[in-house]
Copies of this chain bind each other. A is one copy, B any other.
Amino acid sequence: MKAEIISIGTEILLGEIVNTNAQYIAKELVDLGIDVYHQSVVGDNEARLNEAYSVAFQRSDVIITTGGLGPTKDDLTKEVAAKFLNRKLFLHEESLKSIENYFNKRGLIVNEGNRKQAYFPEEAIILHNPNGTAPACIIEERNKKLILLPGPPREMVPLFENEVIPYLKKYQEKVFAFKVLNICGIGEGHMEEKIMDIVDNQTNPTVAPYAKSHGLTLRIAASGATKEEAEKLIVPLEKQIRDILGDNIYGEGDITLESTVAELLIKNKFTIATAESCTGGLLSGRLINYPGISSVFMEGVVTYSNNSKERLLGVKTETLDEYGAVSEQVAMEMAEGVAKLASTNIGISVTGVAGPDGGTKEKPVGLVYIGLYLNGNVTYKKLNLNGNRNRIRNMVTTSALDFLRREIITYNI
């Protein structure tokens, strides 16, 4: 089954908003085992929309549109579809009632445009939209399916999940299973090299690097006659990958690095305090992302000036004079200092040159030290990073969390 996605709306065409709908739908279709060969964007224009339908009906079995179901004259998706398929529009009483309810509740009057939203091409399957006034619909024509969905993601996504997926599943030939492994502490190139043989020699399951907002991931996908069969195929390949990548895999699926670290801290009853210079609170901010962190996170300080490093953390003036603020010595004194200040098991510190200014030949922009105090032992990690200020600060924060994770794991061995 071949599918294509048509995103309708001048605001996408002109770049006013980014087309996240197409990405979402494409990913879901892949997970359903449906091939996606085309995506396109057209404005709210009758001729070009008609052309898009015409091309899509020639080459695809499932055509999914988003947008253009609103109450204004610009919203033409349903009207052009009806014309293209030679169907009349009919008034769907139930939809009209639910639109009227929506407006009455808010003390508003239903106008002609809102009434328009309750009209559909004949024989369409109506999908109730609980999150807006634009109902969606599915039109079946010559073994092909045209699925019209609203544009706002908060309306479209629930409709897709609750109505479209169950509908499409009826036509599914294979069932898919997935596992996503989250990875850090290794570059993408290096990782690919290590697992290249596995990647190249697989057809089912397949394994592919997959970019997610929180970093590097590997996605294992398998298909089978049943979910269980597909899941079973994943097991040996996952084991092989875990043997190769070891501790570089920190979690699965939606698990973030900070939640992995937070759970390790809580499990070990290790209290923690942070002392940051160039990251300026990003490290404590990431840790505090985890809702249950309050039982172990005691305190964070942002000691941007030498004065506050000395006064709050007890970093020695001689150390600052001899090695400079960006040094392994200062990083370690900061880590120990903040652990003592807050009476915690762990103190973690960051000091570095985030740029764009302040770099020297000996201490260039991107040089960062992470200090770690853990129950009496102090250690450090040195980083040399590239990129702008923001990128460096984010990479340091991730490296610090990963360093902490590895040190806790090692401590327990």
Which residues of A come within 8 Å of B, CB atoms?
Answer: 12-20, 22-30, 36-43, 45, 48, 55, 208, 210-211, 274, 276, 278-285, 287-289, 291, 293-294, 297-305, 307-308, 312, 341-342, 355-357, 389-390, 393
Contact = CB atoms under 8 A, between A and B. Distances in A.
Number of this chain's copies in the complex: 2
B37 A48 contact: yes
Contacts of A289: 280, 389-390
Given A280-B281, A281-B284, A210 B16 contact: yes
A308 B38 contact: no
27 contacts: A15-B22, A15-B36, A17-B211, A18-B23, A19-B39, A37-B45, A39-B40, A39-B41, A55-B55, A281-B288, A288-B393, A289-B389, A291-B356, A291-B357, A291-B389, A294-B305, A297-B302, A297-B304, A297-B305, A298-B304, A298-B305, A299-B304, A299-B305, A299-B312, A300-B300, A301-B302, A302-B302
A39 B16 CA distance: 14
Contacts of A28: 15
- The SS class assigned to the A binding surface is mixed
Q: Which of A22, A210, A297, A302 has the most CB of B within 10 A?
A: A302
A308 B272 CA distance: 13
A304 B279 CA distance: 18
B19 A15 contact: no
Contacts of A282: 281-282, 285
